[in-house]
Amino acid sequence: MNSTDMPRAGLAFAFAGAISLAASAHAATPDISGPWIIAQPHEVLKTTDGRAPPLLPAAAATYAATKAAVSTPKDNDPDLRCLPPGVPRLMLQSFPFNIVQGKTMYAMMFEWNHLNRIIHLVADHSDTIGPLYLGQSIGHWEGNSLVVDTNSYNDTTWLDDSGLPHSDQLHTVEHMKLAGGGTELIDTITIDDPQTFAKPWQTVMVFRKDPGAIIKEDYCLGRLGRDNLVVK
């Protein structure tokens, strides 16, 4: 399916049907635990058919202004203040992350500023708090795919390093699936935001297993040398 034939209403049914919570099949679910890293870093997200995301005119203007400001000196980039990069941008960084598969939730433990993303294995978003930089994620297994539905995003992050905007109406649905004999994790993400995009669109992120990697406790301000600003 490409971005041109995805009705927005389809997302509402993404979680319809019998939900088989991983809590009841802890041992039987695919093992996606362990360290992963983006196989090919993306600076600019494209749709699965290689096109630019379908920005609405106002959002396109925002994007153009952001890109113009990014050229010099990038001080409008929230990442340079070490604020959480949001989803999917955090997963696109050249930093590894570790997945821990618990019984009632999964944890994606990112090296980038020691952030974490929790996927609650529950059926709905009724306990949502927020808005949050990384949104609030719920998940379930559909066959061999982990389906992750995330809402309650704030509107301060970028979708990618180029400054692709979104609003607080952002809603993402990811299908994560092992490939390559377990050496790859394919994450097909559907991005919907009626205030930013004319229609939902999809892109694909590929992560490769990074065996033996130890996820360090990254200190973003220190890594960027900005801790020196406060050391007198």
Q: What is the contact surface with other proteins in residues (CB under 8 A)? A: 33-34, 81-84, 98, 100-107, 109, 113-116, 118, 127, 129, 132-134, 214-217, 219-222, 227, 229-232
- Shortest Cβ 6–other proteins spacing (Å): 29
- Shortest Cβ 100–other proteins spacing (Å): 4
Residue 74 corresponds to which amino acid?
A: K
* Contact in structure between 186 and 209 (CB atoms under 8 Å): no
- Shortest Cβ 101–other proteins spacing (Å): 5
Q: Specify the residue, 16 or 214, whose C-beta has the smaller distance to other proteins.
A: 214
Question: For the chain, how far is it from start to end, CA to CA, in angstroms?
Answer: 56
- Shortest Cβ 28–other proteins spacing (Å): 13
Task: List, in order, residues 6 or more apart from 80 with CB less than 8 Å away.
Answer: 74, 224
- Shortest Cβ 217–other proteins spacing (Å): 4
Task: List, in order, residues 6 or more apart from 33 with CB less than 8 Å away.
Answer: 98, 99, 100, 101
Q: Nearest-CA neighbor of 118 among 133, 89, 91, 138? A: 138
What the block records as the tokens of 78 is 């929230």
Q: Specify the residue, 56 or 107, whose C-beta has the smaller distance to other proteins.
A: 107
Q: Specify the residue, 56 or 122, whose C-beta has the smaller distance to other proteins.
A: 122
**C-alpha span between 138 and 150 (Å, rounded):** 6
Q: Specify the residue, 19 or 23, whose C-beta has the smaller distance to other proteins.
A: 23
Q: Specify the residue, 66 or 188, whose C-beta has the smaller distance to other proteins.
A: 66
